[in-house]
């Protein structure tokens, strides 16, 4: 386990540090009241902030895929990887549709005076579905899936802890924002419902989408490698003299011979 964990740790170290820096920058921007367009404080629900770690997911996802492909840990089949990635992304809306039709969750989940038991049921259902999506995403490209899982934990655990401190202190940022008509819960309950559970389920599941960016990067990388390999025979045939010994090539120590008639 330590041999696998060490390369993953080295691979995600710099992205994790950059992600933490962006998280702290957004926190400072919201506390200081900087531009709402750049630092959304949660006043307008579902309005993304231009400064946020969510935009780093496709960037680092493609970079992870490129690095893993160069290291020989690409997906076994691009078709299988694409198919499982689409399945991971589709499992959440499909489960939401089926859960509503089966009566497991109500048709209107966001409404005033939601009973606490109903809120817990909704939360449990979707957390379970998100974990299924995460598992499918890992199967799409195991090496990348494990890397994204480790990066997701490194990115989202600090956010979850930050949300707890913000809720306890009522900082007035998006980290402690709550619905306008919430069910009656304690601060710790709200942190579990809005902080801990979503950060370790929903936001982890969204990293499955970055597999698609990584697959595109892997395809370009592999295409470039194939073109380079196709050029090598022509270069070797024109540059090698009879009896010459080549060192440092991938096949190591090749002695070239040509058919010659000796008299």
Residue 252 has pLDDT above 80, yes or no: no
Give a yes or no: residue 259 inside a domain: no
| Average pLDDT for 224-233 | 46
* Between residues 125 and 211, the one the model is more confident about: 125
CA-CA distances (angstroms) from residue 150 to 23, 155, 229? 17, 9, 34
Give a yes or no: residue 257 inside a domain: no
Closest C-alpha among 200, 48, 54 to residue 133: 200
pTM attached to this predicted model: 0.70
Please write the tens of the pLDDT for every residue from 166-208.
Answer: 999 999 998 988 776 656 678 888 898 888 888 887 766 665 5
Those residues whose C-beta lies under 8 Å from the C-beta of residue 204, and which sit 6 or more positions away, are 130, 134, 149, 152, 153, 156
Give a yes or no: residue 231 inside a domain: no
CA distance 122 to 133: 17
- Quote the domain boundaries for residue 175: 2-222
CA distance 230 to 256: 19
| Average pLDDT for 210-229 | 51
Please write the tens of the pLDDT for every residue from 240-250.
Answer: 444 444 444 44
Give a yes or no: residue 235 inside a domain: no
Q: What is the total count of domains within the chain?
A: 1
Give a yes or no: residue 239 inside a domain: no
Give a yes or no: residue 240 inside a domain: no
Categorize the per-residue pLDDT at 67 as very low, low, confident or very high, splitting at 50, 70 and 90: very high
Categorize the per-residue pLDDT at 162 as very low, low, confident or very high, splitting at 50, 70 and 90: very high
Give a yes or no: residue 59 inside a domain: yes
């Amino acid at each position: 386990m330590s041999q696998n964990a060490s390369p993953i740790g080295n691979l995600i170290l710099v992205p994790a540090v950059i992600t933490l820096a962006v998280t702290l920058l957004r926190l400072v921007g919201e506390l200081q009241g900087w531009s709402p367009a750049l630092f959304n404080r949660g006043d307008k629900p579902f309005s993304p902030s231009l400064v946020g770690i969510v935009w780093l997911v496709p960037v680092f996802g493609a970079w992870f895929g490129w690095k893993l492909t160069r290291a020989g840990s690409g997906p076994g089949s691009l078709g299988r990887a694409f198919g499982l990635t689409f399945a991971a992304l589709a499992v959440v809306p499909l489960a939401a549709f089926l859960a509503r039709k089966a009566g497991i969750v109500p048709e209107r989940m966001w409404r005033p005076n939601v009973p606490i038991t109903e809120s817990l049921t909704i939360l449990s259902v979707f957390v379970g579905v998100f974990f299924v999506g995460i598992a499918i995403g890992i199967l799409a490209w195991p090496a990348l899936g494990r890397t994204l899982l480790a990066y997701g934990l490194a990115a989202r655990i600090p956010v979850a802890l930050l949300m707890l401190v913000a809720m306890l202190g009522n900082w007035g940022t998006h980290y402690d924002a709550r619905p306008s008509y919430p069910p009656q819960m304690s601060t710790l309950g709200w942190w579990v419902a809005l902080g801990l559970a979503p950060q370790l389920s929903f936001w982890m599941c969204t990293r499955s989408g970055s597999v698609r960016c990584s697959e595109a990067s892997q395809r370009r990388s592999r295409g470039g490698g194939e073109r380079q390999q196709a050029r090598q025979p022509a270069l070797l045939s024109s540059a090698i003299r009879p009896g010459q010994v080549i060192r440092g090539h991938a096949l190591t120590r090749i002695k070239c011979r040509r058919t010659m008639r000796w008299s």
